[in-house]
Amino acid sequence: MAKYTGPSCRLCRREGGKLFLKGEKCFSDKCPVSIRAYAPGQHGQRRGRVSEYGTQLREKQKIRRIYGILEGQFRRYFEAASQKKGVTGELLLRFLEVRLDNVAYRLGFGSSRAEARQVVRHGHVTVNGKRVNIPSYQVRAGDEIAVTGAARTHARITTAVEAAAARGFPEWLSVDVQNLQGTVKSLPVREDIAPDLNEQVVVELYSK
């Protein structure tokens, strides 16, 4: 399976903005995007005009990297979204947003999506009382997500939850910080998801 093993911050610089791949570092003055706000590489500061296709490709790569999924997975999400009633781009983002690893990140169980994914894979998360270790598991409205008893004393998890609480939680989630658990009040709508994402150009890319 293909997997990017290089510096995470290099991906942020390539996409021209913070993808929040490194946890608290992304919110600090040490963030490379703030220090070097241009693409990596020898010619990073001399980027020319980007074509329409280039713009579409970069937006697709940006969304894919934010959620940490591979190209094949991303295309399957798009195909599933295109087959449902509704706006394809918004449905695509919703499929990505309700992945268990992303919900765990939103609840603060990890300082980044990669860390939250690891927490899920190691079996430290339950859904409605049952242990689930599949990061791509799709949560539904009313689901209760919690950290298992054995993991509630893990310093990295408790620190991440405290940091997330200080920044604020999404409106579609209710969170009990003390007991390290949360409830999906409703499925996220477009206003609940990052406003700087342009999912429509991704739809145009895949519709060609």
Residue predicted with more confidence, 39 or 89: 89
Burial of 6-27, coded b for 16+ CB within 10 Å and e otherwise, reads eebbebbbbbeebbbbbbebbe
pTM: 0.83
What's the pLDDT tens digit per position in 90-142?
A: 999 999 999 999 999 999 999 889 999 999 999 999 999 999 999 999 999 99
* Percentage with pLDDT > 90 across the chain: 56
Task: Report whether 154 contacts 61 (CB < 8 A).
Answer: no
- What confidence score (pLDDT) does residue 90 get? 96
- What confidence score (pLDDT) does residue 199 get? 94
Backbone phi, then psi, for 21, in 5-degree steps? Answer: -100, -10
- What confidence score (pLDDT) does residue 48 get? 63
Bridge partners of residue 125, in order along the sequence:
147
User: In which band, very low, low, confident or very high, does the pLDDT at 1 lie, cut at 50, 70 and 90?
Assistant: very low
For the chain, domains (ranges, CATH) are 8-96 (1.10.1050.10), 103-184 (3.10.290.10)
**Strand 130-131 to 125-127 pairing:** antiparallel
Give the residue among 106, 142, 149, 141 at the shortest CA–CA distance from 125: 149
Lowest mean pLDDT among 4-13, 87-96, 132-141, 149-158: 4-13
What's the pLDDT tens digit per position in 45-96?
A: 566 677 888 888 889 988 998 898 999 999 999 999 999 999 999 999 999 9
